[in-house]
Structures are given as structure tokens and as C-alpha cells.
Amino acid sequence: MAAHSGESESSSRTGAGEREQRPLAAGERPAHERVAELLAESEVLRRENASLQSVKDALQESEARCRRLFEDDLTGDFLTAADGRILACNPAFVRIFGFASVEEALNTNIRDLYEDPGDRDALLARLRREGKVENEGRTRKRRDGTRIHVVENMVGRFSADGELLETQGYVYDDSERKRAEEALRESEERFRAVLENSLDAAYRRNLQADRYDYVSPVIEEILGFTPEEMAAMNRDEVMGRVHPDDSPRIEAELNAAAASGRGLLVYRFLSKRGEYLWLEDHFTVTLDPDGRPLFRGGIVRDITERRRTEEEIRRHAIEFSRIHRDLESAHREANLYLDILTHDIGNTENVSNLYAELLIDSLEGEAAGYLANLRRSIAKSIEILGTVSKIRRIHAGPPLLRPTDLDAVIWAEIDHFPEIPIRYEDAPRQVLADDLLPEVFTNLIGNAVKHGGPGVTVTVRTEEEDGFVRVTVADTGRGVPDDQKEEIFHRYERKQRGVGEGLGLYLVQILIDRYGGRIWVEDRVPGHSEGGAAFSFLLRKADAVPG
């Protein structure tokens, strides 16, 4: 067994050696060279595969980057077929045109987003001619029909024979800028319309070029020069038309305005018609960063008529002042005369009244009746004279109102009528009045006694009412008919009664007006004028007026 095995191994080794030592055929390379070549080719393939993988990774990264740019772009990117079908769009496109999603946009024809579908056909015609459209502004529609203004950029993709296959581009919503532009344009148009139609002339003078950049057309109506003629005038020509008496002052004010930035000029300017006109020029000065004056712009107004009117007013004021002094002097003399006359009449009436009293006991029969009538007339005359004196005091000047104790005034007046039943409940109140306030109660109570007849009763009431005190003097007399209530305080002014009659109520009305209140008459018992009258008036509370 051992010998046999050893023989077989020897034979095997001999066979292997024979294969290694077999002679190579013509052109045949050794095996180790072929193996090395295969290994080299494998390395080349591995490197190419690694390079291809790197390219693939870069391509995928580029595609992802492009998709991110497409998805995140702030402009509305789109791809459409020639027939208008939207093939692709980004979220910004969806947002601009008001779609709910990209899917909804992809199910829409882009022609539906044009305000005028004909614009789409015109746009495609331009693409076929020029291959692209750049910064095209147009009105488009959102999904809900709202009009928006967009700016669009677009290129076309064409077949080999020049047929338009697809359009690709982007839009952005330009509505806010467009609205601002239109608002600015409208504002400029309104401003220009105001300037063109104003009676005042606007201007801007270029101080570096020494010429007017702009003068509104109305300057021709004011001065006779056209805007072009004014624009051609240099500084010396303009100043040469300023009145010589005004030139030094204008020069000084222009120099001062260069520092302050604004000024007001009033001067005379020689018009093209050869007459000097008064002009008023409100202006501002624009300076460069170094403080040098660049422009002067302002508004020029013709104030010639105003100056003439002011001059007339000044002359009239001087004349009025003279007349006023004369009137004051005449007023003082008239008052002095009235004072003397009133005093003399008062003395005469007092003496007449005294003699009447002395004679009354010594006369009988008809003569006594005449004397009694005379005494009544004298008494009435004295009363009227006293009232006239009070009216003169009222009109002597503005009232000097002060806090007055209304309760004390009422009680003092009640004491003057001891024979008349007068009801009044104490109600301390402070009102604004002067020392003539008692005359109101004297006349109202006296009026009730005079017209109320025998047995008349008077009631006085006070109550607060929104910063005022309402005072009512009511009587049980014959009352005031409804058709006379509005006229009762005006009869004296309209001379509807006899001499002196109604003068007391007229005096009352004047006083209440002076105190800032009002007076009226109504029924003591509402709806029953025959049951007596109630005279009510308002007096301001003293604490209702600051100071």
C-alpha cells in the first residue's frame, strides 16, 4: 500500500511539471502576464465605475438642488404645453394665482388665467418670432377672478422644424408696485392739475444753472410773460424788474433764506404790460450736502388788489377812529345832557307831586278828581323816568356779573309788597347777576298786582336745572291768552301798547338776556290760561361758570 501510494504521488508530480514546462504556442503570452493584464483592466473598470457613481451622485444632488430651487423659488415657475396645459409649476405659482394645490393648477389651462385670452395668442406669436419674452407686464386673473398685475419672463422650446412645443418661464406678482405707481401717477396728475389751474404761480429755479426749471402757465395771466419767457430770464434780468425801492430788502431776504431754508418775499414786480404788481412769494431753498443752494421753489401770488384794499382799510380805519372819537365825545355830551334833563324832570315831578299832595285836602268835587288824575299821571311819569334811568344803566357798558344771593333778593322784594299775599319757600342759591336783579322781581310782582285784580295771590318758586336756576313768579290773576304769550315781551319794542305800557316787561327781558338766561310766560295751571300766568326765567348758577 505504501509503495503504491508513493508511486502515484510521483507520477502526479511528474505530470504537473510536464504541464508547466509545456512549450508555448506561437504568439501565446505567459499566464502570469495575462493575469496581470486582467487585474489592470479590473482596476480600470473599478475606477471608471467609481467615477460613474460620483457623476451619478453629483447628478442626483444637482437634480435635488434644482428641485429645491424650483420648489422654494419666490417667483412662480411654470412649464406649459403649446395648447396651454400646465405641465409643471411650483408652490409660488400656486400661491400667486390662488390655487389650492399644485394638483389643482396642473388641471387648469393657463389661458384661463389671462384677462383677455387673446393676449395668450399674441404672446405665443412673439415667442415664435423672438424665441423669448422678457419682463412683460400684464394683467392676469387669479383662480377666483381677482385681477392682478404680473411681470412675466418666458422662453419657448421648439421642434427641429421650428414648431413651438412648450413654454417655460416665471412670473411674479407686481400688483402692489403697480398700484403704488398708479397712485403716484394719479397724485402727480392731480398735483399738476392743481398747479395748472391754480390762480397762484408755482416755480422752481435752478440756482446753479441760473434759470427756471419750471413755471406754471398761470404766470402769463399774472405778469404777461409766458413760462418760456420766464425760463429764459437770468438773475439780473429778474432782479432788474423788481421795484428799486424793494430790491435791497429782497437781496437781504434771499441771502438770509439760503441759511434758513425758507422765506417770504413781498415786493413789486414790473409786468410785461408795464405796470408794477405787488407779489407775495412763499419759497423754500434746497441745499446740497455741502450747504450750497441748489434750487429755490415756491408759490407766487398777485396781491395787488389786496394791498389796495389794505390801504383803503387803513385810510378808513383812520377816518373811523376820528369818527369814533367824535361819537364818544357826542355820547358823553348827550349823556351829560340826559343826566341834567332827567335830574331836572325828576325835580319838577317831585315838586309837582308835593303841591298835588298839599292841594288834595283843600279841593272838592270835580277839581279834586282832576287833581287825583294829575297825581296818578305824575306818579306814572316818575315810575317811567326811573325805568328809563335803569335802562340807561343797563346800556352803559357790559354787565359786571358776580355771585348774588338769590334768596336774599327775593325776600327783600317780598317786603316791598306787604299788602299782597306772596308764597315763597326758602331755597338758598347763588346766581350770576348784578345789583339790578331786584328790578326783575319788582316788575314781575308789580305786573301781577296790576293785572291780577283784587285778591290776587303770588307764588315764587326756584329750582335747579342743568347749570341754571329756574325762577317762576306765578299769579292767580286773569292770565295771558295763548295767542299773546309769544308777543308779550315784544309789545313795547313794536309799539303795540301805549306810552310806557309794557316797559317793565321789556326791562325784565333785557336784564335776563344780560345775565345769560331767557324768559317766557306760560299758564299757572297748564291748559287754563284764565287761571293765572306763570313768568319763568333762567339765571346761571354761580358755580356753573369757571372763574
Domain of 444, CATH number, reads: 3.30.565.10
Helix then strand then coil, % of the chain, to nearest 5: 50, 25, 25
Extract the residue ranges of the chain whose pLDDT is less than 50: 1-19, 495-500, 547
For residue 45, the Cα-to-chain-centroid distance in whole angstroms is: 84
For residue 497, the Cα-to-chain-centroid distance in whole angstroms is: 55
> What are the two backbone dihedrals, phi and then psi, of residue 81, each rounded to the nearest 5 degrees?
-80, 165
Decide: 464 and 429 in contact? Cβ < 8 Å.
Answer: yes
9 in a structural domain? no
User: How far is Cα 286 from Cα 502, in angstroms, rounded to an integer?
Assistant: 73
Q: Can you tell me whether residue 173 is helix, strand or coil?
A: strand
**Measuring CA to CA, which residue among 195, 93, 214 is closest to residue 154?**
93
22 in a structural domain? no
Q: Can you tell me whether residue 161 is helix, strand or coil?
A: coil
Same domain, 153 and 204: no
Same domain, 93 and 161: yes
- Look up residue 357 and give its amino acid: E
Same domain, 372 and 424: no
Same domain, 229 and 154: no
Grid cell digits, residue 358: 298839599
Residues 6+ apart with CB under 8 A from 74: 92, 172
User: How far is Cα 44 from Cα 419, in angstroms, rounded to an integer?
Assistant: 146
Q: Tell which phi-psi region holds residue 116, choosing left (phi > 0), alpha (psi between -120 and 50) or beta.
A: beta
Domain end point (choices 347, 382, 417)? 382
Grid cell digits, residue 505: 316787561
239 in a structural domain? yes
Give the pLDDT of residue 186: 81
Which structural domain range is residue 409 located in? Answer: 398-544
Radius of gyration of the chain (CA): 56
Same domain, 263 and 323: no
Grid cell digits, residue 413: 322784594
Same domain, 468 and 434: yes
Give the pLDDT of residue 296: 92
Domain end point (choices 276, 302, 328)? 302
Same domain, 352 and 428: no
Same domain, 235 and 164: no
Same domain, 286 and 334: no
Same domain, 420 and 526: yes
Q: What is the pLDDT of residues 328-339, one digit of tens each?
A: 777 666 665 566
Give the pLDDT of residue 13: 47
Planar angle of CA 73, 74, 75, nearest 5 degrees: 90
User: How far is Cα 210 from Cα 230, in angstroms, rounded to an integer?
Assistant: 12
Decide: 139 and 119 in contact? Cβ < 8 Å.
Answer: no
Q: Domains in the chain: how many in total?
A: 4
Residues 6+ apart with CB under 8 A from 151: 135, 136, 137, 171, 172, 174
390 in a structural domain? no
DSSP 270-313: E-TTS-EEEEEEEEEEEE-TTS-EEEEEEEEEE-HHHHHHHHHH
**Domain containing residue 158: CATH number:** 3.30.450.20
Same domain, 292 and 344: no
32 in a structural domain? no
**Length of the chain counted residue by residue:** 547
Q: What is the pLDDT of residues 202-255, one digit of tens each?
A: 899 999 999 999 998 899 999 999 999 999 999 999 999 999 999 999 999 988
**Measuring CA to CA, which residue among 10, 13, 9 is closest to residue 21?**
13
User: How far is Cα 217 from Cα 178, in angstroms, rounded to an integer?
Assistant: 31
- DSSP-derived secondary structure letter, 114: B
Give the pLDDT of residue 495: 45
16 in a structural domain? no
User: How far is Cα 208 from Cα 239, in angstroms, rounded to an integer?
Assistant: 17
Q: Can you tell me whether residue 164 is helix, strand or coil?
A: strand
Give the pLDDT of residue 474: 94
Domain end point (choices 252, 279, 302)? 302
Same domain, 424 and 527: yes
Give the pLDDT of residue 17: 45
23 in a structural domain? no
128 in a structural domain? yes
User: How far is Cα 97 from Cα 150, in angstroms, rounded to an integer?
Assistant: 10
Residues 6+ apart with CB under 8 A from 407: 426, 427, 428, 429
Decide: 387 and 504 in contact? Cβ < 8 Å.
Answer: yes
Burial of residue 417 (CB within 10 Å: 0-12, 13-18, 19+) is middle
